[in-house]
């Protein structure tokens, strides 16, 4: 039986640029070498990408959470730092940051090298919404540093929608080209999830 790929539950995803070259180096300096002042620049880059995308005017910004043990060892959550700086420079409408809306309930293995099915299994049940009233009826913008296949964002969207969120969108600083190609291949096989457009290094990927 042919394998059927489920389209993601988020309505649209936007990224500033490809996870390559200078942008990749900047993200590595921030995330792995703890050059935290880089978060301000990354927040501004995310702002540029989101500002060029048609999204609802009223958004609740929710960073992808880290498991508490990993956050303690790293000392910070890179998605939260980027989200805070993004919100500081946003001028496109009503926006609110809520860092406690989404929690990671267990540690997960690295997604590197896993198949799409293994990624979904790895992430299934890894997130929860402890206070559904915070997201009920709201349009949510999930923020993370990098999107690869969209598995993590998709699982976050699933639990947020189950908690009563109205619509879920995703914004990342970078996107992995291979991951985007995989999503577009899924669309070409019969499940429409939209298209990819680019302007310089920026692009959007979405579905209705």
**Tens digits of residue pLDDT in 49-65:** 999 898 998 999 999 99
Residue 187: pLDDT band with limits 50, 70, 90: very low
**Residues 7-33: what's their mean pLDDT?**
91
Helices and strands in the chain: count of H runs, count of E runs? 7, 9
Six-digit token string for 52: 């060029």
CA-atom Rg of the chain in angstroms: 16
Instruction: Tell me the domain boundaries of the chain.
Output: 12-191
CATH number for the segment(s) 12-191: 3.40.50
- State pLDDT tens for residues 146-177: 998 888 899 999 999 999 999 999 999 999 97
206: enclosing H helix or E strand: strand 202-206
Contact 105, 126 (CB under 8 A): yes
pTM: 0.79
Measuring CA to CA, which residue among 119, 146, 135 is closest to residue 64? Answer: 146
What stretches of 32-161 adopt beta strand conformation (E)?
A: 59-63, 95-97, 103-104, 127-128, 139-147
């Amino acid at each position: 039986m042919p394998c059927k790929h489920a389209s993601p539950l988020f309505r649209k995803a936007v990224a500033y640029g490809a996870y390559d070259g200078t942008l990749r180096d900047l993200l590595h300096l921030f995330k792995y070498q703890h050059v935290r002042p880089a978060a301000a620049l990354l927040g501004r880059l995310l702002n540029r990408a989101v500002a060029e995308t048609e999204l609802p005017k009223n958004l609740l910004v929710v960073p992808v959470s880290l498991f508490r043990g990993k956050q303690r060892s790293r000392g910070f959550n890179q998605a939260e730092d980027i989200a805070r700086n993004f919100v500081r420079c946003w001028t496109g409408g009503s926006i609110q940051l809520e860092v406690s809306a989404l929690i990671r309930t267990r540690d997960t293995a690295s997604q590197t090298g896993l198949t799409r099915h293994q990624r979904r299994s790895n992430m299934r049940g890894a997130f929860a919404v402890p206070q559904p009233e915070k997201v009920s009826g709201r349009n949510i913008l999930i923020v993370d540093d990098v999107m690869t296949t969209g598995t993590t964002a998709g699982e976050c969207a699933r639990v947020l929608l189950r908690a009563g969120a109205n619509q879920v969108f995703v914004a990342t600083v970078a996107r992995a080209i291979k991951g985007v190609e995989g999503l577009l291949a899924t669309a070409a096989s019969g499940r429409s999830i939209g298209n990819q457009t680019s302007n310089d290094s920026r692009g959007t990927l979405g579905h209705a």
